[in-house]
Copies of this chain bind each other. A is one copy, B any other.
Amino acid sequence: MRVELVSIGNELLLGQTVNTNSSWMARELIQYGIQTSRITSISDSRSDILNMLRETGERAEIVIITGGLGPTSDDITKPVLCEFFETDLILDQGILEHIKSLLAIRGVEINDLNIRQAEVPASAHILHNAMGTASGLWLEKNDTVYISLPGVPFEMKALITDMVIPKLREKFPFPEVYYKTVITQGSFEAYLAERLKTFEANLPPNMSFAYLPSPGIIRLRIGSAGDDAKKLERAVNSQVLKLQEIIPEYIVGFDDDTLELIIGSMLMIRNQSLSIAESCTGGAVSALITSVPGSSSYFKGGIVAYSNEIKRDQLAIDRSLIETYGAVSKLVVEDMAINTRLLFNTDYAVSVSGIAGPGGGSSDKPVGTTWIGVSCKNKTYSEIFRFGDNRERNIQRASVAALNMLRKLIISQDMIIDSN
């Protein structure tokens, strides 16, 4: 079974939009055992769209197309679909009513462009778009199903979940698949690969294993496809257990876990609270923590102490400490953590002070040098990291490292309580 995803839009080929839609769809489809074979982006041109419809029809049973359904004149997917499927564009009264009611809620008058959104290829089955004005379309030719969806992410997502997946599962028998992703922090791909050489060599032949690196985090994905869901799950999980034995010190979570979600649930279960003091990460650690719905139940707040003046005035860091050791130092970052924890009256605090770059480095403390501190009632400590010379990645890697230090501190406190 071949499934291809096609995104239409000049903005993709100009690189002005990153194709996050296809990644999301691929991720969603795999949950239902539907593996994507190819992802393609093409331009808003008649000939490119027609070629793609022909090509994918020869290769794939399912083609999901996004984009080009908007109201503006560069959106030409619908007329080209009509040409390929030899049908006409007709005004659908049901869709028109839906558009009118959506606009009424927003308090907007209907215009010609909105009305064009109600036009669809006559032979298409309509996939109702509850969230927006551009309907999804389901068309078939020979043995291929073509599904055309709007490119607006939240509309596309609702259509995939509510309309496309149920209809695909009705029509096709999909194999069972099972994937498990092990999330690691604190190592490098080549180092992990060396440690896992024997593990990899001994994997059963029907099992896949991949390294998925991103700044600060390497995910290891084990997967298998077959007929028996339970059996697949058991086989994959037994390999995960082996990984947990080989590299326990690097594993921080599984599947869709993120450090911010893991920390969030740990704090919520323990009914504990958190505050954050950031310098070089400039709010990025707080933004990660607050990206989690419900984070207000454990995150009280933080200070972005970007200047030394603010470190002194808002965080009561001793002026002489900054003058003697510099703002990027063990003593300053530890005081930042302690003082923030006391000031915000929280159980935990994490602090970051580093040189994100490109400026500010010295031979002693080159760009990328970062101190991270964590503090709770029983313990305050810090670690120094030497990241690279790229500002954006330094901020990402420092944020991830800070969250992982916090995670370890929270876990260590459970052990203290247990041993009492």
Q: Using CB atoms and an 8 Å cutoff, list the residues of chain A in contact with chain B.
A: 10-20, 22-28, 30, 35-44, 48, 70-74, 108, 111, 113-114, 133, 152, 154, 179, 181, 189-191, 193-194, 200, 208-214, 219, 221, 276, 278, 281-287, 289-291, 293-296, 299-307, 309-310, 313-314, 343-345, 356-360, 388, 390-393, 395
Q: Check B293 against A287 for contact (C-beta < 8 Å).
A: no
Q: With A and B bound together, what is the CA distance between A18 and B36 in angstroms? A: 14
Q: Which chain B positions have C-beta within 8 A of A290?
A: 281-284, 304, 306, 356, 395
Q: With A and B bound together, what is the CA distance between A212 and B15 in angstroms? A: 11
Q: Which chain B positions have C-beta within 8 A of A221?
A: 11, 14, 16
Least distance between A59 CB and chain B CB atoms (Å): 9
Q: Check A18 against B19 for contact (C-beta < 8 Å).
A: yes
Q: Check A26 against B39 for contact (C-beta < 8 Å).
A: no
Q: With A and B bound together, what is the CA distance between A389 and B183 in angstroms? A: 30
Q: Which chain B positions have C-beta within 8 A of A72?
A: 189, 193, 211
Least distance between A294 CB and chain B CB atoms (Å): 7
Contact of A74 among B113, B210, B313 (CB under 8 A): B210
Q: With A and B bound together, what is the CA distance between A73 and B357 in angstroms? A: 35
Q: Check A13 against B26 for contact (C-beta < 8 Å).
A: yes
Known: A70-B211, A291-B395. 19 other contacts (CB 8 A): A11-B212, A13-B36, A16-B181, A16-B219, A19-B22, A19-B23, A37-B42, A37-B48, A39-B41, A40-B41, A71-B190, A282-B290, A283-B283, A290-B304, A291-B392, A296-B307, A299-B306, A300-B306, A301-B307
Q: Nearest chain-B residue to A13 (Cβ)?
A: B36
Q: Nearest chain-B residue to A36 (Cβ)?
A: B13
Contact A310:B304 (CB < 8 A) given known A17-B214, A28-B15: no
Q: Check B294 against A359 for contact (C-beta < 8 Å).
A: yes
The residue in A13, A26, A30, A358 that gathers the most chain B C-beta atoms within 10 A of its C-beta is A13
What 3 A-B pairs have minimum CB-CB distances, sorted nearest first? A282-B290, A283-B286, A15-B27
Q: Check B43 against A40 for contact (C-beta < 8 Å).
A: no
Contact A111:B194 (CB < 8 A) given known A15-B25, A293-B359: yes
Contact of A314 among B305, B344, B392 (CB under 8 A): B344
Q: Nearest chain-B residue to A285 (Cβ)?
A: B283
Least distance between A358 CB and chain B CB atoms (Å): 5
Q: With A and B bound together, what is the CA distance between A209 and B15 in angstroms? A: 15
Q: Check B358 against A293 for contact (C-beta < 8 Å).
A: yes
Q: With A and B bound together, what is the CA distance between A416 and B50 in angstroms? A: 57
Q: With A and B bound together, what is the CA distance between A388 and B303 in angstroms? A: 28
Q: Check A344 against B310 for contact (C-beta < 8 Å).
A: yes
Q: With A and B bound together, what is the CA distance between A359 and B193 in angstroms? A: 42
Contact A304:B307 (CB < 8 A) given known A179-B14, A283-B287: no
Q: Check B306 against A303 for contact (C-beta < 8 Å).
A: no
Q: Check B295 against A282 for contact (C-beta < 8 Å).
A: yes
Q: Which chain B positions have C-beta within 8 A of A108?
A: 190-191
Q: Which chain B positions have C-beta within 8 A of A214?
A: 17
